[in-house]
A and B are shown apart, each in its own frame.
Chain A
Amino acid sequence: MADSPATSLQHAAYDSKVEGNVIFTRVDSAINWMRKNSLWPMPMGLACCAIELMATGASRFDISRFGAEVMRFSPRQSDVMIVAGTVTYKMALAVKRIWDQMPEPKWCIAMGACASSGGMYRSYAVLQGIDNLIPVDVYVSGCPPRPEALIDGLMKLQKKIEGEASTVAQLKTGAPEPETVEA
């Protein structure tokens, strides 16, 4: 963390002549910076995409390089739900219930063709995309996507979180939903 604030924080001013350990930034930037580098995923592994999700977490691809290695099996401790696999109608409301149990702010990655659109399952038994039930921030294509693709999706989510203006906007308007007040 020693050198990263100066390069990654937008609108930050670092004046080494004045104060060695103080940086100036906007509260949104600081909060977003902390949030995006410490995403705790809720691994919603439902099918073969979950195997790639596990590979993403394991040593070769190592999602901890992006601060998202803390897979929590409790939705109450998670920030980002990674829906990895086919969402059947039998499972759909359970996924929705777990999503509802996650505290705000929260994000959702639809990993793979099935979670994004039902995939090859044009069928009576399969929900045609998890975005029918919960708001999705990033869709990752692939059947299943390779770990690199999921990591790319995670980085896209980090970019999105960087640009959020949730804190100030909420203070000003009292709006509870971060999704509705995105800049």
Chain B
Amino acid sequence: MSSAADIAKSLQDEFGAAILSTVEFRGEHTAIVDREKARDILAHCHGKLGFDYLIDLSSVDHYGEDPRWELVYELYSLANGENVHLRIKYTLPEDEKAPTVSDLWPTANWHEREVYDMMGIEFDGHPDLRRILMWEGYPFFPLRKDFPLAGRPSEMPDVAFTNRAPLAGGPFVTAPTSGSTVKREPRSREMD
């Protein structure tokens, strides 16, 4: 097995245009890939390149942009023995399903359930796509950007209920922005 730079290059040789871009930051490589080929690329990383460990699978909500979702896969190789880390990213429109990788890395089973539970992204081919943190029947996806921090009322008789939390004028949150410090600093954001 080779270094992270070689791996990023070999991906480009193998998949060509499906690797939209690669980024290197302090020796760690990120490949932004085409979502049509994402599953093949991840299978290639797992099989041929020896990334036997899926550190994490997470999702990002680019609310207001299209495509809205971005899926992020953190790969690592334990068999390799070298400190090689690879991140695979791809975007996904709101009405599409992501391909499951739970058959490649069994740990992805619960990661994908969490992404489904919190963000509402469905995974095609997942063997058991149920909620994992919230209860079955909870009607919202609470990590979406359009979901208020205080929550929304819901009711599942004999199972659970939720209410809005009092926020005293909040939520007092920082917003990632290229604007001034006044815009960035924690202050109340309007909510529904």
Contact = CB atoms under 8 A, between A and B. Distances in A.
A122 B166 contact: yes
A93 B159 CA distance: 7
B149 A124 contact: yes
Given A90-B134, A90-B135, A124 B158 contact: no
B72 interface: no
Contacts of A128: 163, 165-166
Interface in A93-133: 93, 118, 121-128, 132
A8 B50 CA distance: 74
Contacts, number: 46
Secondary structure dominating the interface of B: loop
B56 to A, nearest CB: 21
B18 to A, nearest CB: 38
A93 B151 contact: no
A122 B171 contact: yes
B161 interface: yes
Given A89-B161, A93-B159, A93-B160, A125 B151 contact: yes
Interface in A58-111: 89-90, 92-93
B142 to A, nearest CB: 5
A56 to B, nearest CB: 29
Contacts of A126: 165
Contacts of B152: 124
Interface in B6-23: none
- Counting chain B residues whose Cβ lies within 8 A of the other chain, the interface size class is 20 to 34
Nearest to A127: B163
A122 B166 CA distance: 7
A122 B165 CA distance: 5
A124 B161 CA distance: 11
A90 B132 CA distance: 11
Contacts of A127: 163
Contact of A122 (B135, B149, B160): B149
A124 B162 contact: yes
B182 interface: no
B150 A122 contact: yes
A128 B147 CA distance: 18
A125 B166 CA distance: 13
B106 interface: no
Interface string A118-152: 10011111111000100000000000000000000
13 contacts: A90-B133, A93-B158, A93-B159, A93-B161, A118-B165, A122-B150, A122-B165, A123-B151, A124-B148, A124-B165, A125-B151, A127-B163, A132-B163
Given A125-B142, A125-B162, A128-B166, 20 more contacts: A90-B134, A90-B135, A92-B161, A93-B158, A93-B159, A93-B161, A118-B165, A122-B150, A122-B166, A122-B170, A122-B171, A123-B150, A123-B151, A124-B142, A124-B151, A124-B152, A124-B162, A126-B165, A128-B165, A132-B163
Interface of A: 89-90, 92-93, 118, 121-128, 132
Interface of B: 133-135, 140, 142, 147-152, 158-163, 165-167, 170-171
